[in-house]
Amino acid sequence: MRAIDRSLPRDGATRMIGKTEETMRRILMAALAALASVSIGAGVAQAQTKPSVTRLANGEPKTAIYIGNSFFYYNNGLPGHVGFMQKAANPAEKNAYRTTMVTISGSGADWHDVASYFRPNAIGKYSFDENNNVVFNKLDRLFEVAVMMDCSQCPIHPQLKDVFVEYMKKGADTARANRAEPILFMSWAYKDQRAVTAALAEQYTLAGNANNALVIPAGLAFAKSIAKKPDLELYQPDKRHPSMAGTYLAAATVYAALARKSPVGNAYTAGLDPALAQYLQTIAWETVKEYYGDLGS
């Protein structure tokens, strides 16, 4: 099925009853320009506001649900790559790791009925082990964390930014009601709209602080890599979805944020050249340290 993204059209225009297309284009571009000026230091976008949450309450989680859209499910699913990195780093407990992905193509946070994902005897009831055997999970709780994202430009879109705020809170509250710690996944800007990276980072950071939730700075990792190696392609030809390198970079950033450990040297490379994988691991770790504050080597 072709992925449909509800986000801002590429020409920056949006239609609204009672407004001309040109008027709305000017309003939208002015709003994006103001947001994009948040903070760009040393050529790399950053959030102006500092995150108030820099670690998970209970340490690295072994079970997680990822709630989002096609940015998650491209390249056989970002959550799976995170899980492989976790297992490679901790092979003695590899059977304890479990990730579930719930995605809707082109969706925003308001498309998801998060409460339904925590209903008993449904999602997470059973898994498949490495030998493809069905394993019925004995669950104290469904998931330790819930990683949530919105559509790629919803947090800064004039008609959707209030929806972003509302549904990040609803999602966080629902996760906590089901004993899962909420986490927000900061998505990346489109390849041809990279100027809004800082604005996206700022809005995700504000939402994380408002909900006492950890934010994973994947969008900032994209920006850092592009600044260092602009010829490394992190996008599909559509300029929106991630290439395999983009997905791996995002997964390494998630791993670093959840584990508070460097992914550099992790044996799982997702089939990428080892040197490229190590470069992406390094970018992920540098981004996480800069965003949260120095976490050590």
Share of the chain above pLDDT 90, in %: 73
- Reply yes or no on whether the pLDDT at 24 is more than 90: no
pLDDT in tens, 131-188: 888 888 877 789 999 999 999 899 999 999 999 999 999 999 999 999 999 999 999 9
- Among 117, 99, 104, 119, smallest CA distance to 68 is for 104
**Integer Cα distance of 172 and 182 in angstroms:** 5
Reduced to 3 states, what is the DSSP secondary structure of residue 269? coil
Domain boundaries, the chain: 21-292
Average pLDDT over residues 215-240: 97
pLDDT in tens, 240-290: 999 999 999 999 999 999 999 999 999 999 999 999 999 999 999 999 999
- Reply yes or no on whether the pLDDT at 2 is more than 90: no
Lookup: tokens for 184:
């927000």
- Give the predicted TM-score (pTM) of the model: 0.84
- Reply yes or no on whether the pLDDT at 17 is more than 80: no
- Reply yes or no on whether the pLDDT at 211 is more than 60: yes
Q: Which of 33-47, 63-77, 195-209, 255-269 has the lowest mean pLDDT?
A: 33-47
**Integer Cα distance of 214 and 199 in angstroms:** 18
Lookup: tokens for 188:
């990346």
DSSP element (H, E) containing 146: strand 145-148
- Among 14, 29, 25, 74, smallest CA distance to 238 is for 74
The answer for residues whose C-beta is within 8 angstroms of residue 273's C-beta and 6 or more apart is none
Give the right CATH number for 21-292 from 3.40.50.1110, 3.40.50.880, 3.10.20.30, 1.10.600.10. Answer: 3.40.50.1110
Average pLDDT over residues 289-295: 89
pLDDT of residue 115: 97
